[in-house]
Amino acid sequence: MVKDPWWIFAYWEIQPKTERAARSQLLPEEIAGLQSVLRVYDVTGMDGSAQPAHGAFDIGLSGLATNWYIHTNAPHHAFVVEIGLLTSRGRFLPLARSNRVTTPRFGPSDVIDASWITTDEAYWKLFGASAGVGIGASPLAWSQVLAQQLFSGNWSSPSPVGPSRHSAVRGFWVRVNADLVIHGATEPRASVAIEGQPVAVRPDGTFSLRVALPAGTQTITIDVTAPDGRQTRTVTPVVTLAWAGSLTPETTTPKAQLHHPRPGSP
């Protein structure tokens, strides 16, 4: 599988009998120093496996690896990988052969279609515009353009997964708020109003109201009217909330990160 223009990925599973069959071909003196290797063939431009590859390199495998990321460092090349046993004398006994993969080109094609002729200058003008780096970016800067503008900070797909929450400023943070709960009980069919607004009375006659309490003094008028509507009781608690101290974070916190909504990223 292709990871990107420079890396490919291989995984494998070797049946014990396949490995036994290969080992049975070994001469006794070849057993020592036997190594598992991946042999990576460059098969760019070749159709079948009849031709010898342009080149090949080996990667010694350690331990019980069942997969490997291979740094080919070769965009726009085709590869086939074999896993096998390599003797100390250099004899290679293949165990399995991969499918063929082709890494993508990284950079503009050299092929120009005669009926759609484009100049380098025009291409770079459009390229700069596409990459969002302003008008007519210099071709010299293109590798930087690619690395910085084209790919980095791209985003990918998402689900509206609620990511874990952050504080925008790293380090120690505190929030404190106060809610006030007013609660009481009366006769089940009585009516209750707090600051003129009706509050539901439950079948058992209890009632409650929760309010976010601002700083300062609140005078709260609670009117309770009997079921027959003839009698009213009024009570007026006065609540004062005052804050001392400060919870504002210190201004010397490390460079803060702006948590910009970006799907899928925490």
Partner 1 sequence: MEPQGFLAIVLHTHLPFIRHPEHAEFLEERWLFEAITETYLPLLERFQRLANDGVPYRLTMSFTPTLLAMLSDGLLQARYLRHLEKLIELSEKEIERTRWMPPFHRLALLYHHRFTSARRLYVDGFHRNLIQPFRELSDRGYLEPIASCATHGFLPLMNEQRTAVRAQIHVGVQVFEQAFGKRPVGFWLPECGYHPGHDAFLKPFGIRYFLTDAHGILFGSPRPKYGVYAPAICPSGVAAFGRDLESSKSVWSAEAGYPGDVDYREFYRDIGYDLEYDYVRPYLNGDGSRLNTGIKYYRITGTTSDKQPYDPDRALDTASQHAGNFMCNREKQIAFLRTVMDRAPIVVSPYDAELFGHWWFEGPDWLEFLIRKVHFDQKTFQLITPSDYFQRYPINQQLEPSMSSWGNGGYNDVWLNGSNDWLYCHLHQMAERMTEQAKAHHQPDPLTHRALNQMARELLLAQSSDWAFILKTQTHTAYAYRRFRDHLARFTVLDDALRRQAIDEPWLAEREAADNLFPRLDYRIYAT
Contact positions with partner 1 (CB under 8 A) in 82-141: 99, 102-113, 115-118, 122-123, 125-127, 129-132, 135
CA distance 52 to 107: 28
The residue behind tokens 């302003």 is: 134
| In the complex, minimum distance from the CB of residue 129 to partner 1, in angstroms, rounded to a whole number | 6
Find the binder of partner 1 among 52, 227, 237, 266 (CB under 8 A).
266
Buried b (16+ CB within 10 A) or exposed e, 95-117: beebeebebeeeeeeeeeeeeee
Q: Is 176 in the site for partner 1 (CB under 8 A)?
A: no
Find the binder of partner 1 among 14, 70, 150, 185 (CB under 8 A).
150
* DSSP-derived 3-state class of residue 182: strand
User: Tokens for 126?
Assistant: 């459009």
Q: Is 189 in the site for partner 1 (CB under 8 A)?
A: no
> Site mask, partner 1, residues 1-40, x = CB under 8 A?
xxxxx---x-x-x---------------------------
Number of amino acids touching partner 1 (CB under 8 A):
84
| In the complex, minimum distance from the CB of residue 194 to partner 1, in angstroms, rounded to a whole number | 9
The residue behind tokens 């003008």 is: 125
Q: Is 257 in the site for partner 1 (CB under 8 A)?
A: yes
User: Tokens for 182?
Assistant: 């007013």
**What residues from 215 to 234 belong to the interface with partner 1 (CB under 8 A)?**
218
**Of residues 175 and 230, the one with the C-beta less far from partner 1:** 175
Buried b (16+ CB within 10 A) or exposed e, 194-209: beeeebebeeeeebeb
Q: Is 197 in the site for partner 1 (CB under 8 A)?
A: yes
Sequence-ordered list of residues with C-beta below 8 angstroms from that of 169, at least 6 positions apart, any chain: 249, 253, 256
**Of residues 26 and 131, the one with the C-beta less far from partner 1:** 131
User: Tokens for 142?
Assistant: 């293109």
Find the binder of partner 1 among 22, 26, 78, 167 (CB under 8 A).
167
- At residue 146, φ and ψ (nearest 5 deg) are -60, -50
Q: Enter the DSSP assignment of 96.
A: E
Tell me, what amino acid is at 63? Answer: G
| In the complex, minimum distance from the CB of residue 42 to partner 1, in angstroms, rounded to a whole number | 18
Q: Is 261 in the site for partner 1 (CB under 8 A)?
A: yes
Radius of gyration for the alpha carbons in the chain, expressed in angstroms and rounded: 37
Find the binder of partner 1 among 16, 20, 140, 156 (CB under 8 A).
156
